[in-house]
Amino acid sequence: MTQSNPAVPAASLSSSPGIHGTGATKPGPLALWVMLSGTFLVVLDFFIVNVALPSMQHELLASTATLQLVVAGYGLATAAGLITGGRLGDLFGRRRMFMLGLLLFTLASAACGFAPNAELLVAARVLQGLAGALLQPQVLAMIGLAYTGEDRARAFAAYGLTLGLGATLGQLVGGLLIHADLAGLGWRSCFLINVPIGLLALALAPRLIPPLANSGSNSKLDLAGMLLVAAGSVAVVLPLVEGRQQGWPLWSWLCLAAALPLLAAFAFQQRRLAAHGGAPLVAPVLLANRRFVMGLFTTLAFYVGNASLYFVLALYLQQGLALDPLSSGIVFTSLAVGFFAASMAGARLARRFGGKPPIALGALVLAAGHALQFVNVAGWAGHTHVAAWMVPLLLVQGAGLGMVMAPLVSTVLAGLPPQHAGVASGVLSMVQQASNALGVALIGILFYGRLGDAPDAAAYASAFGVALVYLMVSALVVALLHRRANRKPSAQV
């Protein structure tokens, strides 16, 4: 990118020093792409697996429940380990933990690609998720510490762009790989493609990414906090991922009921540890920052509609309109094009709106895109014209996503002190993961509830229309929360 993106307020940028002044060399553009390769792989593997599930089931003779674990095991392990992963980076070095996470993710990807049966595939996916939880928070933390001023704004914008492209391109990349059937690998290439990328990034990381100083805080790891937050995360995410598919059994409600006391115990333990001079996993002062907390709520509102959109769109294209995976992926490309174009124009848009990222406007554009898509699907239900009209409207929806996602990360993390960089990144990433799971669960209830037991093309159109209404409400809530969070200045940590 050649233009600045004022996604982070100038005051916040100047108050949070990077590595400059510490004797380290400023990392160049290639270093940023090495960092972002880790994020791209983690996000891509969350979405790319969906298009490969039918092939997996056929080759491995896997049950539907096992296939659900292929998806859920990855997301669950990632969500449960993100805060701990961020804290490990704070304590033992972000570059070191980034490289360790990337190595483990690459090895786990190879294990997924060569898995001889469904059970080992599930185990490898859990390991892949844990590696992603170690890897992903380091990227945000390293960007916050390695860059300052407009360089940091551009780096955060590139991070948001990477998140969106990993999600929107997952369907297309998976469809292309399965269609190409390289060396007869079929669905296995969806995992094995990570290996050369991971190995190349590992070779370049020590040469391009400078060492970043540790926070200098207490070096003891809060094991009790790790266990409580992991248990609380599992209690929230597991029933949301698995509950609907299994008809909301009793265990799913018991898990959700246990989540609140577990997270309350975690909060109490963190405050108590901080009061006694210890090193809590999440410093309570971090959650006292109003801008950060409001940013987390905005992130939650956005991401309950993010993965949900990809989920129902894939179902409607492949089952409602009977498109094959490759054709479905090609339609998805228009969403990615709109996202990319809006993300690249973020700096110009921000300058036109007084130097602030147009997140609220982007959310309104996204809501309008959902509304127009609803009119298209309802008006052309059962006709071939609906697919043709979806393409330009997906461009609008993608543009709305790009206007929100690219600058949202930087606005949430702006102004936080360096010693909280890893943990704050882990908290933000965990909110994103949990919100994805929550959104898919909620939209699944609406979509399948409207679809009925004997779906036809009209039923799929009706179900997709209901989902679009949900997505429109989610986008409007993002606009309202962002405006409220920026209504007046707040004190920083």
Give the angle subtended at the CA of 182 by the CAs of 178 and 185, to the nearest 5°. 70
Taking the C-alpha atoms of residue 162 and residue 400, their distance in angstroms, rounded to an integer, is 16
- Mean pLDDT calculated for residue range 88-98: 88
Taking the C-alpha atoms of residue 212 and residue 350, their distance in angstroms, rounded to an integer, is 30
Predicted pLDDT of residue 287 = 77
Q: Are 80 and 133 in contact (CB under 8 A)?
A: yes
Cα distance from N-terminal residue to C-terminal residue, the chain: 31
Q: Looking at beta carbons, which pairs linking 243-249 to residues 24 or more positions away fall under 8 Å?
A: 243/441, 244/441, 244/444, 244/445, 244/448, 245/64, 245/65, 245/68, 246/65
Q: Which tens digit of pLDDT belongs to each residue from 209-247?
A: 887 665 545 567 788 888 888 888 888 878 877 777 777
Predicted pLDDT of residue 473 = 94
- Mean pLDDT calculated for residue range 425-432: 81
Distances (CA, A) of 424 to 281, 349, 428: 10, 27, 6
Predicted pLDDT of residue 219 = 60
| Band of residue 447 on the pLDDT scale cut at 50, 70, 90 | confident
Predicted pLDDT of residue 112 = 95
Main-chain phi, psi angles of 457, to 5 degrees: -60, -40
Q: Which tens digit of pLDDT belongs to each residue from 166-201?
A: 877 887 888 888 888 888 888 999 999 999 999 999
Q: Tokens in use for 42? A: 């983690």
Q: Are 37 and 197 in contact (CB under 8 A)?
A: yes
Taking the C-alpha atoms of residue 86 and residue 99, their distance in angstroms, rounded to an integer, is 14
Q: Are 308 and 442 in contact (CB under 8 A)?
A: yes
- Taking the whole predicted model, whether its pTM rises above 0.85 is answered as no
Average model confidence (pLDDT) across the chain: 81
Taking the C-alpha atoms of residue 214 and residue 94, their distance in angstroms, rounded to an integer, is 8
